[in-house]
Amino acid sequence: MYVPSHFRMNGDDAPYAFMAQNAFGTLVSTHDGAPFASHLPFLIEEGRLRAHMARANPQWRSFGTAQVMVVFTGPHAYVSPAWYEAAESVPTWNYVAVHAYGVPKIVDDPHEVRAMLEALVTRNESGFARPWEMHDAPASYIDGMMSGIVAFDIPIARLEAKEKLSQNRPAVDRVRVAAQLARSDSPADRELSALMTLRETTASL
């Protein structure tokens, strides 16, 4: 990913926090000589990603031999040149994204697979008043479902993290863009505005 210095995400922990918050990622690899992608929920841990896919999905068959890329994206929004102070401006798009690279390793141990699935369920059920747990379903049913998946770990070899939040523009333009996005009907626009405001506040400390 092309990451100019002024758009680089600051802080070693920031990419992990972003991935954890936007943990539904796109796993990209090569299959039969062509690009292939799967959209999957990930568990984010220091130094590795954990996930699973359907056994019928052919993508896992090339795991262990080549590096893959997992793309995590957050809010994004169109930025109009009319929002800038200077007349000589052009449209652009603001966004946040993290790319993680590594060679996937298939996890065969059923106890480890079950622990990974339980962790994934717990993370996604934790906000509900009555969280569902794996033992709520018959053990034979869970065992059958587990036989239809392939679990894997991706030790992270490299991270690319980009926050394109108008850092290349004067402060007055950044404030104007954030204000325009804050007034939008789009939740993604408003979320991006909040990120821009937070970044400005943090930078001024």
User: At 41, which CATH number?
Assistant: 2.30.110.10
Mean pLDDT of the region 158-187:
95
Take residue 2 and report the two structure tokens written for it.
């092309």
Which residues contact residue 4 at a Cβ distance below 8 angstroms, ignoring those fewer than 6 apart? Answer: 168
pLDDT tens per residue across span 97-149: 999 999 999 999 999 999 999 999 999 999 999 999 998 999 999 999 999 99
The average confidence (pLDDT) of the chain is 94
* pLDDT of amino acid 204: 59
Q: Which domain holds residue 121?
A: 5-76+92-168
In a domain, 41, yes or no: yes
Q: DSSP E strands: which ranges in 22-176?
A: 24-31, 34-41, 43-45, 48-54, 68-79, 92-102, 105-107, 149-155, 158-164
Mean pLDDT of the region 52-74:
96
Which residues contact residue 166 at a Cβ distance below 8 angstroms, ignoring those fewer than 6 apart? Answer: 79, 94, 173, 174, 177, 196
In a domain, 194, yes or no: no
Question: Contact, 27 vs 40, CB < 8 A?
Answer: yes
In a domain, 177, yes or no: no
- Helix (H) / strand (E) containing 67: none
Confidence of residue 203 (pLDDT cuts 50, 70, 90): low
Take residue 70 and report the two structure tokens written for it.
């997992």
Residue 193 CA to residue 175 CA, distance in Å, equals 9
In a domain, 81, yes or no: no
In a domain, 180, yes or no: no
In a domain, 110, yes or no: yes
pLDDT tens per residue across span 3-19: 999 999 988 899 999 99
In a domain, 201, yes or no: no
Number of domains in the chain: 1
pLDDT tens per residue across span 70-84: 999 999 999 999 999
